[in-house]
């Protein structure tokens, strides 16, 4: 069989895997949006069946044979060609998926599905001791998973690679440590600032039907195409790109806070614009038509949420429109007051409620602890103590109980160690990409004032979306911005913005 024939068969098999995955994605979306409670048992069987089928198809030894025939052939001569990229990335996943012993996968699924329930109960009572044995089990199994994958350097690298392929813990830790130093200082100065915006402006009555109207208007204006997408309501907002021509997002509404649905929607629209901009039709089911990593995905959502949605220029255009829709609540509110209110910063316990500035401190703390858990330097029993002392150092406040501390997130109970850093990577990449975009498009901010977002979207399409998985995240960052990932663009952006708002 020639390498070309092998590649053709590989494409055909990948298509099949992708079709199973996208059916699974539709069921998962439907489960969270419209499924009645009674459907839970059947749905879990349907999903389990599809997951098993997908694994079987993807780890078929034939895939390994086909990869071997194509590797080292003319197809891979140019490492940046479509074929070479697809072969490289399929190989990467195939090796990982075939390295895990079946017993370990099953043990992990069993343990994490029970641990999640135990975690929820422990959090309710703020009782870390009840959760501790489960955390110990999860950490032990993940250490075994890292050993099965194999790794260079430390075991955390193997877990991180599931979410951020090719990233190394050392590189990330270095950038994060620099960010932490400057961010702790910035947040402390904001806390002491003499000037404080009036946050109550966004905490007035905001009728949900009117919010829906406004959100849809904003989503459409920044490029969300309702002909190939939907916006629905769920408790935990998310984005799901099923495939070419169908991308779903969700949001949630709070009648007493304008920010929740508004910035939540802009965030998910950012994810969706990436999904819609990937060349999924041309590269059906292949890595060249897929997102680079969770960090790069998050950079797209954060950019539309923060660099665009929380900019003054955006509201030059949209505040007058918002005032027409929310007449009573925004009557007499100036652009400056509104801009201050949506950029209010205050240290708080809960990550998912955190503002743009303190958010990353929540992530840095989790990254440091989970890295130490996996290496064995930190015992699960010592997590609350370590959490609380770091929290005091970074945020300047004492944690009052574990529900507001180390028990707040679901991630560790479901085995997602290595996932948290992708949130801060997203913020870092977002600022670095956006800084470059403002250099490439000199009147970009002026375009925002005029309600024009096409310039930025076209720039993202060309530089990031259409590239699929051609480059790994760090390489993409260098290609696009000319520099490796750095904490500076994000710090510069925040120092300038909060310096003005808080007069520091």
Query: 23 to each of 16, 53, 237, 242, how far by Cα in Å?
Result: 11, 12, 20, 8
Kindly state whether residue 424 participates in binding Co ion, applying the rule CB under 5 A: no
* Active-site position among 89, 154, 268, 370: 268
Q: How far is the CB of 287 from Co ion (least distance, A)?
A: 21
Select 14 or 306, whichever has its Cβ closest to Co ion.
Answer: 306
For the residues of 13-71, what is the DSSP string, one character each? HHHHHHHHHHHHHHHHHHHHHT--GGGHHHHHHHHHHHHHHHHHHHT-HHHHHHHHHHT
* Residue span binding Co ion (CB under 5 A) among the ranges 93-101, 215-223, 300-308, 338-346: 300-308
* Residue span binding Co ion (CB under 5 A) among the ranges 301-309, 316-324, 391-399, 401-409: 301-309
* Residue span binding Co ion (CB under 5 A) among the ranges 82-90, 223-231, 297-305, 333-341: 297-305
Residues contacting Co ion: total by CB under 5 A: 2
Q: How far is the CB of 423 from Co ion (least distance, A)?
A: 8
Q: Is 268 a catalytic residue?
A: yes
Note whether 300 and 461 are within 8 A (CB). Answer: no
Structure tokens at 282: 């041309």
Q: How far is the CB of 168 from Co ion (least distance, A)?
A: 23
| Contacts to Co ion from residues 203-242, by CB under 5 A | none
DSSP collapsed to 3 states, 343-378: CCCCCCCCHHHCCCCCHHHHHHHHHHHHHHHHHCCC
Rounded to the nearest angstrom, the gap between the alpha carbon of residue 502 and the centroid of all alpha carbons in its chain is: 28
Q: How far is the CB of 236 from Co ion (least distance, A)?
A: 11
Select 92 or 230, whichever has its Cβ closest to Co ion.
Answer: 230
Select 157 or 259, whichever has its Cβ closest to Co ion.
Answer: 259
Rounded to an integer, what distance in angstroms lies between the CA atom of residue 346 and that of residue 77? 53
Select 426 or 489, whichever has its Cβ closest to Co ion.
Answer: 426
Note whether 329 and 205 are within 8 A (CB). Answer: yes
* Residue span binding Co ion (CB under 5 A) among the ranges 181-189, 205-213, 298-306, 338-346: 298-306
Note whether 104 and 141 are within 8 A (CB). Answer: yes
Note whether 251 and 264 are within 8 A (CB). Answer: yes
CB closest to Co ion, residue no? 301
Select 290 or 298, whichever has its Cβ closest to Co ion.
Answer: 298
Kindly state whether residue 301 participates in binding Co ion, applying the rule CB under 5 A: yes
Structure tokens at 261: 């649905």
Residue bearing tokens 């703020």: 126
DSSP letter (8 states) at residue 441: S
Q: How far is the CB of 162 from Co ion (least distance, A)?
A: 17
Select 22 or 265, whichever has its Cβ closest to Co ion.
Answer: 265
Catalytic residues: 268
Residues near Co ion (CB under 5 A) are 298, 301
């Amino acid at each position: 069989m020639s390498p070309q024939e092998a590649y053709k068969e590989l494409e055909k098999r990948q298509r099949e895997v992708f079709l199973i995955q996208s059916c699974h994605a539709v069921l998962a979306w439907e489960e969270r949006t419209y499924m009645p409670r009674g459907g839970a048992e059947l749905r879990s069987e349907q999903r389990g069946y599809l997951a098993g089928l997908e694994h079987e198809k993807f780890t078929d030894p034939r895939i390994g044979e086909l990869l071997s025939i194509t590797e080292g052939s003319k197809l891979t001569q140019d490492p940046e060609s479509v074929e070479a990229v697809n072969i490289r990335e399929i190989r990467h996943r195939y090796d990982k998926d075939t390295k895990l012993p079946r017993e370990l996968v099953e043990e992990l699924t069993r343990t994490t599905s029970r641990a999640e329930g135990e975690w929820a109960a422990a959090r309710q009572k703020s009782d870390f001791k009840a959760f501790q044995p489960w955390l110990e089990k999860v950490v032990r199994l993940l250490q075994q998973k890292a050993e099965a994958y194999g790794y260079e350097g430390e075991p955390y690298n193997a877990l991180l690679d599931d979410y951020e392929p090719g990233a190394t813990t050392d590189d990330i830790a270095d950038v994060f440590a620099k960010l932490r130093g400057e961010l702790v200082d910035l947040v402390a100065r904001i806390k002491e600032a003499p000037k404080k915006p009036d946050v109550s402006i966004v905490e007035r009555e905001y009728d949900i039907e009117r919010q829906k109207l406004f959100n849809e208007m904003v989503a459409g204006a920044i490029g969300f195409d309702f002909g190939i997408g939907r916006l629905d309501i769920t408790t935990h907002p998310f984005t799901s790109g099923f495939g070419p021509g169908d991308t779903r997002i969700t949001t949630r509404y709070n009648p007493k806070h304008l920010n929740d649905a508004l910035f939540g929607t802009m965030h998910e629209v950012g994810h969706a614009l990436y999904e819609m901009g990937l060349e999924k039709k041309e590269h059906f089911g292949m890595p060249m038509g897929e997102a680079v990593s969770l960090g790069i995905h998050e950079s797209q959502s954060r950019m539309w949420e923060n660099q665009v949605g929380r900019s003054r220029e955006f509201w030059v255009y949209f505040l007058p429109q918002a005032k027409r829709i929310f007449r009573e609540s925004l009557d007499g509110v100036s652009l400056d007051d509104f801009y201050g209110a949506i950029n209010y910063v205050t240290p708080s316990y809960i990550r998912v409620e955190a503002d743009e500035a303190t958010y990353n401190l929540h992530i840095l703390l989790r990254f440091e602890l989970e890295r130490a858990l996996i290496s064995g330097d930190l015992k699960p029993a010592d997590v609350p103590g370590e959490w609380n002392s770091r929290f005091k150092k970074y945020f300047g406040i004492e944690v009052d109980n574990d529900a507001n501390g180390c028990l707040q997130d679901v991630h560790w109970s479901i085995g997602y160690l290595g996932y948290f850093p992708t949130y801060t990577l997203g913020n870092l990449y977002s600022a670095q990409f956006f800084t470059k975009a403002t250099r490439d498009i000199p009147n970009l901010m002026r375009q925002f004032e005029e309600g024009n977002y096409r310039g930025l979207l076209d720039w993202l399409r060309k530089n990031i979306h259409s590239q699929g998985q051609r480059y790994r995240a760090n390489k993409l960052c260098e290609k696009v911005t000319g520099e490796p990932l750095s904490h500076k663009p994000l710090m510069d952006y925040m120092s300038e913005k909060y310096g003005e708002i808080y007069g520091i």
